[in-house]
Amino acid sequence: MIYVMGDSHVTMLANEGVFELLCSESFTAFSLHEKDKKIRESLIGIDKEAIILFVYGEIDCRYRIFYCSSSKKIGLDLIIDNTVQSYLDYVDILRKEQNNVWVLSVVPTQKYGGPTGGDPVFTLPNGDGGGDEDRRYITEVLNSKLKYECFKRNIPFIDIYCDLVGKDGFNRKEKTRDGMHYKYVGDIVLERIKEIL
């Protein structure tokens, strides 16, 4: 059994008997330390040997990073670095307590054809998620830095980005349920886990 915690993109791993969802909340990767109580409640009773796969970062890439950069007048790369640092510092804390936390890459961003619902990309008053190319850049750089930092910190990192991205650098719509959330990709994740083990 592989346990999964993350944002709405955990649904791409919905498969009873293989993956078990512990917590699905719209937490950003940057703010996990603020959600410590909720996360720890979800970890109660989990075998310390079991893999706990964190699926966070899409919300950061979709709008939080660009929004922080534009509203605070701070460079994108610095916000990305701070996001990776905050995310993995929290993962380090859990791993030092013998929780077997692994990190999954952030999925490719979607290309927007126009506003969709109340998505913050379109509704934030003082900035937004940026244009398509901004979000593509943020996602690619964040994944690259996550992979590197996980390697440095000896945190297992599962990279499925290349399996899901199209030639244009955006998500492959045919692999999604709704243009944003992916259909089941658990077989790819399991293959990557086997490669690491």
C-alpha–C-alpha distance, residues 82 and 105, integer Å: 17
Q: Is 184 helix (H, G, I), strand (E, B) or coil?
A: coil
Q: Who's near 43: CB < 8 A, 6+ residues apart? A: 22, 52, 94, 99
Mean pLDDT of 128-138: 82
C-alpha–C-alpha distance, residues 171 and 155, integer Å: 26
Lowest mean pLDDT across 50-59, 71-80, 98-107, 181-190? 181-190
Residue type, 46: I
Q: What is the pLDDT of residue 32?
A: 94
Instruction: Report residue 172 as tokens.
Output: 């492959």
- When pLDDT is cut at 50, 70 and 90, the band that residue 109 belongs to is confident
Check whether 103 has a pLDDT greater than 90: yes
Q: Which domains does the chain have, with CATH numbers?
A: 2-58+77-113+133-196 (3.40.50.1110)
**Mean pLDDT taken over the chain:** 87
Query: Percentage of residues in the chain with pLDDT exceeding 70?
Result: 91
Determine which helix (DSSP H) or strand (DSSP E) holds 187, and give its type and residue range: helix 186-196
Convert the pLDDT of each residue in 150-197 to its tens digit.
999 999 999 999 999 989 988 888 888 777 788 888 899 999 999 998
Mean pLDDT of 72-80: 93
**What DSSP line would sit under 49-111, residue for residue?**
TS-EEEE--HHIIIIIHHHHHHHHT--HHHHHHHHHHHHHHHHHHHHHTT--EEEEPPPPPPP
The DSSP symbol for 8 reads G
Convert the pLDDT of each residue in 47-62 to its tens digit.
989 999 999 999 899 8
